[in-house]
Amino acid sequence: MEGPAFSTLAESNLYRSWDADVIGMTNLQEAKLAREAEICYVTLAMVTDYDCWHEDHEAVTVSQILDNLAKNADNAAKVVTAAVSAMPAERTCKCARRSRTP
């Protein structure tokens, strides 16, 4: 399957039953690859739309998502700039060492 996909109502209700607040489409694969490569990894979640369960909101349009995506890109750039500025010069985290235990 290529590209983003909207949740079905059944999937959306399942995520809600798990008390999930944010649905990420690629986090698992990225986290596994980063761990394998001993790269520090963090998710920056930027909301683009409500999932289909939210009855108080109309159906999501591509235009709404693209508008929110553009706003999120500006915000994400600011967050990344601040995060990089705060990074230590030397890594002492567990990410830098291969370990089979969490």
Q: Look at the block and give the residue holding tokens 């996909």.
A: 5
Single out the catalytic residue among 19, 21, 49, 56. Answer: 49
Asked about 21 being catalytic, the answer comes back as no
Asked about 49 being catalytic, the answer comes back as yes
Single out the catalytic residue among 19, 21, 51, 56. Answer: 51
Residue in 86, 100, 98, 6 with CA at minimum distance from that of residue 42: 86
Within 1-102, residue ranges assigned H as helices are: 9-17, 27-36, 62-86
Number of C-alpha atoms within 13 angstroms, CB side, residue 75?
11
Q: Could you give the residue numbers annotated as active site?
A: 49, 51
